[in-house]
Amino acid sequence: MRRRRTLTLRGTAALLAGIGCLFAANLVGTTMLVYVGILLLALTLVAVLTVRLPRRSGTVARQISTDLLTVSETSRVSLRFTLRAIRVPHGLWRDVLPDAVSGDSAGEYPPDTGQLSYLITGVRRGVWPIGPLVLRTVDPFGLAQREQAFGETRTVTVVPEVFALAPLAVRVGAAGGTAQTSSSRLGQGADNLSPRKYIPGDSMRRIHWRATAHRGQLMVRQEEEESSPDAVVVLDRSTGRWAQTGDAADPSFEAAVSLCASAAVHLMHEGYGVDVIDSAGNALGTLRGHEDDRDGMLVALALVTPRGEARDLASLIGGTPPGPLVYITGALDEQEADRLRPSGAAAPMLFTTAPEDGALETATRHGWHAVELGDDIAAAWEDALPERTGVGDAPG
């Protein structure tokens, strides 16, 4: 936070004018200029003492109307500011905001309503600090000013925007779709489950997290061997797929993250259990119909950045092919598309933000419903729906 100088522009001018009058008085021998110079210097000194000497302390409590702020979503920040001072100063308050959040976080102090509040809008994913609260006061002559920060900062989590997507109207039921998946998961939260120890080669989608936390070692769901496969959403964030933009946000990567969140939430609402992973096999979220699952995934996606290398998709999926499979990547050439196989998924959908010549056609030949991902996420999803592309079942 850049601190303002004690003297305002007017105060600096008064100080320089006073010094100039004293020099001019010595040169021309005019006593009146000495009085004027001393008066300006004294007035400047009194103004500085007026704003700097009073002792002030205070506490700030912030409350944000939403726990998670979505990109382009507006939320209200309410502040309870308790100032302890000899007298209540009149000035301006402002809450320091990061560039990733926009809003008019300033006003007159003390406010007529007695409340400090303002609206913020999410601009960029991430976890960002809000604050501290800064109170700026100026002396009656406008010569000196004081800025004082109060309270600690509070973080706000800006999560990717989730778009409404068209229904996945495809015959996935026979191969592990909505109806069968719903019935096969009736007992997953029951006490009669018999999770077993994790064996190298087991799919990460089968990990029973509650049993793992209870026993202190990786456990997998035994009944998954007979249940229908769920949906898998893969975000390819390997560095070779995305442009290196430094600290600035990459619009293509932001669109990919937003589609990842939108697809996962949409498939969950359609009745699927959804596993969200990155291209290295790291879990980003597991959605089983609970609101906490959704929030946990959004927080994880708020922090993702391009990094690492991609693993083979077959090793990520494991031995059990999923129902819907959504794979989201960046730059994709024809050779890379040829190596990318849907691994027997019932409804494989491939999204690439920068396909090279022949990449989409090659992916389509392998059974993908492949489209280019642009700014319109909902339109790209609709273009990739199996019933619109006319692509048949994926080859084994």
Q: Could you give the CA distance from residue 235 to residue 313 in angstroms, rounded to a whole number?
A: 11
**Are 57-159 and 173-185+228-389 equal in CATH topology?**
no
Question: Comparing C-alpha atoms, which of 370, 367, 284 is closest to residue 327?
Answer: 370
Q: Which residue has the higher pLDDT, 346 or 358?
A: 358
Place of tokens 């990460």: 204
Q: How far is CA 73 from CA 66, 79, 194, 363, in A?
A: 10, 20, 43, 35
| Both structure tokens of 118 | 């303002």
Q: Could you give the CA distance from residue 22 to residue 318 in angstroms, rounded to a whole number?
A: 86
3-state secondary structure of 350: strand
Question: Which pLDDT belongs to residue 4?
Answer: 79
Please name the residues in contact with 328: beta carbons below 8 A apart, sequence gap of 6 or more: 233, 234, 235, 236, 256, 259, 260, 263, 351, 373
| Mean pLDDT of all residues in 312-329 | 86
**CATH 3.40.50, domain 173-185+228-389, yes or no:** yes
With vertex at residue 286, the alpha carbon angle to CA 281 and CA 289, rounded to the nearest 5 degrees, is: 160
Question: Which pLDDT belongs to residue 193?
Answer: 53
Question: Which pLDDT belongs to residue 383?
Answer: 93
Fold of domain 57-159 = Immunoglobulin-like (2.60.40)
Amino acid identity, position 22: L
Question: Which pLDDT belongs to residue 179?
Answer: 36
| Mean pLDDT of all residues in 62-80 | 93
- Give the pLDDT band of residue 314 (cuts 50, 70, 90): confident
Residues 229-245: pLDDT tens digits? 589 999 999 999 998 76
Q: Could you give the CA distance from residue 92 to residue 98 in angstroms, rounded to a whole number?
A: 19
Spans of all domains in the chain: 9-52, 57-159, 173-185+228-389, 189-226
| Whether the predicted pLDDT of 258 surpasses 80 | yes
Q: Residue 372 phi/psi, 5° resolution?
A: -90, 135
Question: Comparing C-alpha atoms, which of 290, 274, 289 is closest to residue 326?
Answer: 274
Residues 358-378: pLDDT tens digits? 999 999 999 999 999 999 999
| Whether the predicted pLDDT of 128 surpasses 80 | yes
Q: Could you give the CA distance from residue 90 to residue 178 in angstroms, rounded to a whole number?
A: 62
Residues 157-192: pLDDT tens digits? 999 999 999 998 654 543 344 434 433 433 344 344
| Mean pLDDT of all residues in 285-302 | 90
Residues 194-203: pLDDT tens digits? 677 877 767 7
For residue 176, how far is the Cα from the chain centroid?
A: 33
Question: Which pLDDT belongs to residue 170?
Answer: 55
| Whether the predicted pLDDT of 74 surpasses 80 | yes
| Both structure tokens of 358 | 């022949």
- Give the pLDDT band of residue 64 (cuts 50, 70, 90): very high
- Give the pLDDT band of residue 63 (cuts 50, 70, 90): very high
Q: How far is CA 175 from CA 275, 308, 327, in A?
A: 17, 33, 19
Place of tokens 């000899």: 86
